[in-house]
Amino acid sequence: MKNPSVQCQTCAPRNRGVFCDLSAEYLSQINASKVTNKYSPRQVIFYDGNNPYGLYCVCSGKVKIFKMDSEGHQQIVRLAGPGDIMGYRCLLSNEPYMATAETIEESEICFIDKTTFTHILETHPKTAFHVMSALAHDLGNAEGQILNIVRKNVRERLAALLLTFKAKYGENGKQGVKLNISLTREELAELIGTSQESVIRLISEFKQDGIISVKGRQITLLDIPKLFETASLVD
């Protein structure tokens, strides 16, 4: 569903994204050409193999980007949230999308056409630099994800994932650090390259060890030092 009310000039997530340094003139250009849509949870934004005609910028909500193997199993490549852009690498390399993007929760997402985006990159060096930085950051995260799967056992990988969520989605509360992200056990498994059954077992063990508390999909971190120890990381 289209939502014309989202304005680039007043979009708070923009200040932590690749368009943070754009002038009012550039923002007006984007605002005039972009399309903003509201997505329901579990709604696909683009499919693996489709051709890109622009890039997507998340205004609100969360999105998972995943690959599907020949047996129908998903492997989540990364998560995107407010201020993040999606589909830009394939857009710049003129390649089809290498993964599928699907909302995790209700989201508002802007689509910026290729002509507008390319013009900004060609005429605004700071934005081009921010896009290169975003690409380097995503590649670094992908390399880290591969190394985690190779070097860490499943228990360590789950603990490391929860610490990553703490940094990005954590909210301090009386009982601990609440993670403001709602993922199924299957999606947690897809993020760390294991089975749903293993994640269910490990979450139960983490609860018994007093590391976390769980209510439905809501996870609260209770013992951060113990979580670092479990992940074989140094706090």
Domain boundary (149, 165, 196) is at: 149
User: Do 16 and 130 sit in the same domain of this protein?
Assistant: yes
Q: Is residue 2 part of a domain?
A: no
Measured distance CA(14)–CA(16) in Å, rounded: 5
Q: Which helix (H) or strand (E) holds 66?
A: strand 63-68
Residue 1 lies in a domain: no
Q: Check whether residue 138 and residue 206 sit in a common domain.
A: no
Identify whether 162 is part of a domain: yes
| Identity at 202, one-letter amino acid code | L
Task: Note whether 120 and 186 are same-domain residues.
Answer: no
Which residues in the chain land under pLDDT 70?
1-5, 234-235
Q: What whole-number distance in Å separates Cα of residue 97 and Cα of residue 157?
A: 27
Per this entry, what is the length of the chain?
A: 235
Asked whether the CA dihedral 79, 84, 90, 96 is positive or negative, the reply is positive
Task: Indicate whether 48 belongs to any domain.
Answer: yes
Residue 3 located in a structural domain: no
Q: What is the CA radius of gyration of the chain?
A: 19
122: domain CATH number is 2.60.120.10
Q: What pLDDT sits at residue 149?
A: 75
pLDDT at 119: 94
Residues 132 and 159 occupy one common structural domain: no
CATH number at residue 186: 1.10.10.10
User: Does this model's pTM top 0.75?
Assistant: yes
> How far from 14 is each of 7, 8, 105, 132, 155, CA to CA, in Å?
10, 7, 20, 16, 36
Q: Are residues 80 and 189 in the same domain?
A: no
Spatial contact of 63 and 37, defined as CB atoms under 8 Å apart: no
Write the CA distances from 95 to 181, 200, 203, integer angstroms: 31, 37, 39
The structure tokens listed for 81 are 């949230």
The verdict on 131 and 224 lying in the same domain is no
| Total count of domains within the chain | 2
Is residue 230 within 8 Å of residue 155, measured between CB atoms?
A: yes
pLDDT score, position 234: 62
164 neighbors 101 (Cβ within 8 angstroms): no
Question: Does residue 127 share a domain with residue 31?
Answer: yes
214 in a domain, yes or no?
Answer: yes
Considering the domain architecture, whether residues 13 and 128 belong to the same structural domain is answered as yes
Of 127, 149, 171, the one marking the end of a domain is: 149
Instruction: Quote the domain boundaries for residue 143.
Output: 8-149
Residues 96 and 144 in one domain: yes
